[in-house]
Structure formats: structure tokens, C-alpha cells
Amino acid sequence: MRDVARTPYLRGALLTVLLTSTLYRPLIVFCPVLVKQVLHGDVSDFSIDIGAFGVGGLLGAITLLGVDSRRDRRHLSSWFAAGYGVILVLTALNPWPWGLTALLVLAGVAMSISNTSANTLLQATTFAELRGQTISLYMLAMRGGISVGSLITGLRVSLLGAREALLINGLVAIAAQTAVGREWFRSPAPT
């Protein structure tokens, strides 16, 4: 862990994944609350919205197939993570059921491109002796972040409401990803 933490190039990728999991993924966890309590939808609306997120994820993966493999993935990962923060803010402010569906497609695209780019970067640039540990940290950031983020967001939802909790997540995420991205872009790319 110390070796990975000392490498800014790897640290930026892992922090980006941790941020997307902790602050953005609660959008999907609390989607039923948005659909039912905020937008007054039903189970069919929820199904469409979750399907829209999945379609966005597939579109993001397909998009990445067309990206040159020599391209620096830091920019893709960081910019799409920050874009996901903007989508989260727009989702919190959205008053229309169809708007949530469209925003979830965009969220799926952003999440897929950001996390897949970070994962690709980690696997392609980590020294062989650290690759297993690095991928373990990636999975911890991704899966652990979802649990911690959902717990914290759940507390905010119960105290403030779903819109307000997601708005806070989005604003914090944009600021945090901007800071992580600045440091990450300054680190030298591995050769």
C-alpha cells in the first residue's frame, strides 16, 4: 500500500475510483427514493431508469473501444469523473421523470469511461510485482467506496432529503475530483 500511495500516477487513479464509488454510486442506491418520493414514479419508472444507467455503461464501454491505446487515460478518467459530478448535481435539481432517465444514461457513460480508464491505466502501468496489490486496492476503492458512500449519503437523505443529499455529493465530488485531477496531471507518466 505504501508503494502505491507513494506513486502519484497510481494514487490519482485509485483516488478517482474511490471518489466515484463513494460520492457518485449512491445515485443508483437512492434511485428508488428519487423515483418514488421525489418524482412520484412507480416500479416501471424505476426499471426504466436503472436500465438507462446500464445502457449508458454499455455506451461508455463501446466508446472506449475507439480510443487510441497510447492515449493518456488520466484525462479520460478524471474528466469523466468530474462530468459525473455535474450530472449528479443536475440529477438533484431535475424535476422531470424523463430527465432522470436521460441523466442516468449520461451517468452510466461517465462512470464506465472513468473507472474503466483508471483500471486500464493501473493494469498497464503498475510494476509486475505490485500489480496484484494495486488491483486489490482498486477493488477495495470501488466496492468499499460504494458501502461507505451509501451509508453516509443515507444519513444525509434521512436528515435533509434525497435531492439535497445528492446535491451535496455532487458539489463535493466536483471539488474533490478537480483537486485530485490537478495533482494527477502533474505526475509524470510512466514510460
Q: Judge if pTM exceeds 0.75.
A: yes
Give CA–CA dist 111/17, Å, rounded. 9
Q: Beta-carbon neighbour count of residue 4 at 10 Å?
A: 19
Q: Which of the four pLDDT bands, split at 50, 70 and 90, describes residue 190?
A: low
Sequence-distant (6+) residues with CB within 8 A of 104 are: 27, 31, 49, 50, 52, 53, 56, 91
Tell me the domain boundaries of the chain.
2-186
In our burial notation (b when 16+ CB lie closer than 10 A, e otherwise), range 14-25 reads bbbbbbbbbbbb
Name the residue among 23, 11, 1 with its Cα closest to residue 145: 23
Residues in the chain: 191
Quote the distance between the C-alpha of residue 108 and its chain's center.
9
User: Quick check: 125 pLDDT over 90?
Assistant: no
The pLDDT value recorded for residue 124 is 85
Q: Which residue has the cell 471539488?
A: 175
Q: Count how many Cα atoms sit within 13 Å of the Cα of residue 47 in the half-sphere of its side chain.
A: 3
User: Quick check: 191 pLDDT over 60?
Assistant: no
The pLDDT value recorded for residue 2 is 82
Grid coordinates standing for 141? 476503492
The CATH code for residues 2-186 is 1.20.1250.20
Identity at 4, one-letter amino acid code: V
Greatest CA separation found in the chain?
A: 53
Q: What is the mean pLDDT of residues 166-173?
A: 95
What would the pLDDT profile of 14-54 be if each residue is shown by its tens digit?
Answer: 999 999 999 998 999 999 999 999 999 999 999 999 999 99
